[in-house]
Amino acid sequence: MLENQKFRRAPVTGPMGEDLTLGSLPPAGTTRWVSRRKAQVVAAVDGGLLTPDEACRRYRMSHEELATWQRLFERVGVPGLRVTRIQHYRERFMD
């Protein structure tokens, strides 16, 4: 009987404290990546809402890029994902 039941994943909390769902994530094919959107994708992957493969396929990114976002978010938070600061943080935290 369990095979026929649908399981609901526990809610995933976004970087700003919001509940994330697949519908609230940035749309597939997003080209303008602000730090908040990057953080939402990282939170969705870390919370199990998306697998890394699903996120990379959905957003047309490499696993390396996703891993970079995850490391920067873990170490610096949302500000670490700002495009204007990525080079600074890469030099500081990625070596």
pLDDT at residue 86, as a whole number: 58
- Residue that the structure tokens 């080079």 belong to: 87
What is the reported pTM? 0.78
Q: Which fold has domain 32-95?
A: Arc Repressor Mutant, subunit A (1.10.10)
- Measured from the Cβ of residue 92, the count of other Cβ atoms closer than 10 Å reads 13
Burial of 83 (0-12, 13-18, 19+ CB in 10 A): exposed
Paired sense of beta strands 19-20 and 12-13, if any: antiparallel
Where exactly are the structural domains of the chain?
32-95
As a whole number, mean pLDDT of residues 24-28 equals: 94
pLDDT tens by residue, 46-55: 999 999 999 9
pLDDT at residue 82, as a whole number: 85
pLDDT tens by residue, 57-75: 999 999 999 999 999 999 9
Longest dimension (CA), the chain: 54
